[in-house]
Amino acid sequence: MLVLQLFLIPLVILLSLVSSEVISTNTTITTTSFATLGKINKTIPLKLSVNEASLPAALKSSSSSSATYQKIRIQPDYDNLSQGTTQLKTYIKKELLPAVIDYFQAALGLRQPLTSNLKLPSTITTVCGLKTPKTLQDGIKTDFYLLISSVSDSTSNWVASAGICYTSATSNRPLIAHMVFNVQNTKPPGGDPLLHEKNLHLTIHEMFHALGFISTSFPSFIDEKGNTRTGHIKNATLDGKVRMVLDVEPLTTKLRAHFGCSTLPGAFLENDGDSGTIGSHFEKRHFLHEVMTSGVIPGLRISQFSLAVLEGSGWYKPDYSYADPFHVGSGEGCGFLYSSCKQKTILSFDDFCEKDEVRGCSPVGNIGGTCESDSRSDGCKYYKPIVQFSCENPAAISYARFPSKEVFSRKGESRCFSGDLTTKTADTQTTFCFKYYCTGTGTSTKLLVYIGNVSVICKAAGPLSVNGYNGKLNCPDPLNFCSTVGKSYCPQNCMGRGRCVSNTCVCKSEYKGIDCSMNQ
């Protein structure tokens, strides 16, 4: 059965010279405040009849361990990666996509893996506007086939797009997808780990869409017994507007526990932007720094909630050890979710700010930014991260107030602290990257902050004077800091390419980086 649908989510990029690099997800029909948009290639996908494993009784419980499920097999096809420099194509083919594929193959189990080769009928000569690969005509042992191509579009600034081309006629699970890179706006990192990290998050974001995190797939989600879900796409009011909410398990339960709001109806989805953005991303103001919000900024996290959407589809069983820690709004209660930005009641929560352009630390704790809103944050201002103020960016030392006393390293030795400390008579508030150490437990927790070789003790949240300096250091709450952003962790659980030992990735010999996502 032919189905006249193709779901493409392109990424567009807006570069700011000294402020943050902002990459936004949009379709190609209208123009938004982020950037002009790219072009969608229209194709006719198939509902494909395939042989899938049935759901044994033991696996119909959502509480089953992820270890019970066969890991997803993902087959990339690079035959159409024709545009771009040799360096870029090699990077996409040999480093970027393999890292993303390894992550999902480690993190996702399948409820119904294919029991025979994935094969297209011989009458199908094109797929997503591309010539049907011989491997799909002959049949290949895989669960998910990813076509990768490249174009050179200098007329707009979209970066990449991903589309679902074929889905299972029985389970509705995506089987074949297409990812496109615009080589005009995709750059190889040349050894820069921060640029590689940005590319990695972009591609992971698109892969989530290809696997089913998209509004047009939500109605096709199935339950633990394989039946199409009903009643899980809801409407709820937020800031006086009717909003789309996704209510699937275990997503809703995880969200209620995280925010401390037992009445939360589910995940509020983005309502700003165009048709490619609305309803296919988490609401930005609730999920600052989550990889499945619209727009890529430094310091994104792949949280348990994005993986829980995939589990809620009924197609996958994630291993949540591959989720990054996510602390935005944690334990803040329903007020965090429903407070008004316009009426400024949201300002009682530390994740938001009020004064334009004032420097402060982002909620992820390792990067500074300026207080501002964007077109997705419902007017809520937050410290939008700026890579030049990242504690993981060695080049950021050029922007430091105390370059000899601050530490900038991918090793995670320092965290972001704010204040107006200065050796002058007075100065503006800025951010610092100081080493730190946590000691004690519970209410006796203390935070030692090292300004060069001199340490000061933060015993409680609030401004602290430092001998030899004018101004103050803004101490965070020691217990909250040390139990959240001050804790080290292995990003993405080392991408399935290494072991997490004492919160540090020990990579296999062919890989490197704090998350093992780079080649040696």
Q: Chain-centre distance of CA 49, in angstroms? A: 32
User: Is the omega angle on the peptide bond into residue 250 within 30 degrees of 0, that is, cis?
Assistant: yes
Q: Helices (DSSP H) in 313-414: which residue ranges? A: 334-338
Across all residues in the chain, what is the average pLDDT? 88
**8 Å CB contact between 512 and 518:** yes
pLDDT at residue 80 tops 70: yes
pLDDT of residue 20: 26
Q: How confident is the model at residue 344 (pLDDT cuts 50, 70, 90)?
A: confident
Fold (topology level) of 391-483: Leishmanolysin; domain 4 (2.30.34)
Query: Burial letters for 306-344: b for 16+ Cβ neighbours within 10 Å, e otherwise?
Result: bbbbbbbbbbbbbbeebbbbbbbbbebeeebbbbebeee
By the 8 A CB rule, do 478 and 376 touch? no
Contact 10, 158 (CB under 8 A): yes
Query: Who contacts 84 (Cβ-Cβ below 8 Å, separation ≥6)?
Result: 92, 150, 152, 181, 183, 186
Characterise 188 by phi-psi region: left (phi > 0), alpha (psi -120 to 50), beta (else). Answer: beta
Residue 348 pLDDT class (50, 70, 90 cuts): confident
Residue with the larger pLDDT of the pair 196 and 239: 196
At residue 119, the 3 state secondary structure works out as coil
Q: How many angstroms separate the CA atoms of 471 and 457, rounded?
A: 16
Q: How confident is the model at residue 273 (pLDDT cuts 50, 70, 90)?
A: confident
Please report the pLDDT score of residue 6 as a whole number: 40
Q: How many helices (H) and strands (E) does the chain have?
A: 8, 29
Q: Does residue 59 surpass a pLDDT of 70?
A: no
In this prediction, residue 281 carries a pLDDT of 94
pLDDT recorded at residue 60? 52
Domain residue ranges of the chain, discontinuous segments joined by +: 7-220, 391-483, 489-520
In CATH, the number for domain 7-220 is: 3.10.170.20
Please give the distance of CA 215 from its chain centroid, rounded to a whole number.
17
Token digits of residue 249: 């398990």
Eight-class DSSP state of 433: E
Q: Cα separation of 67 and 69, whole Å?
A: 5
User: How do residues 430-453 score in pLDDT, each as one tens digit?
Assistant: 999 999 999 999 989 999 999 999
Burial track 476-486 (b if 16+ CB lie within 10 A, e otherwise) = bbbbbbbbbbb
> In Å, what is the CA distance from 89 to each residue of 148, 200, 411, 414?
11, 15, 29, 35
Closest of 374, 330, 373, 370 to residue 350, by C-alpha: 330
Q: Which of 44-48, 132-136, 274-278 has the highest mean pLDDT?
A: 132-136
**Separation of alpha carbons 250 and 310, rounded Å:** 10
Residue 99 has phi, psi (to 5 degrees) of -65, -45
DSSP state of 95: I
Residue 204 has pLDDT above 60, yes or no: yes
* Tens of pLDDT, residues 462-473: 999 999 999 999
Q: How confident is the model at residue 341 (pLDDT cuts 50, 70, 90)?
A: confident
H-assigned helices in 191-320: 193-211, 251-259, 304-312
Quickly list DSSP for 103-116: HHHHHEEESS-BSS
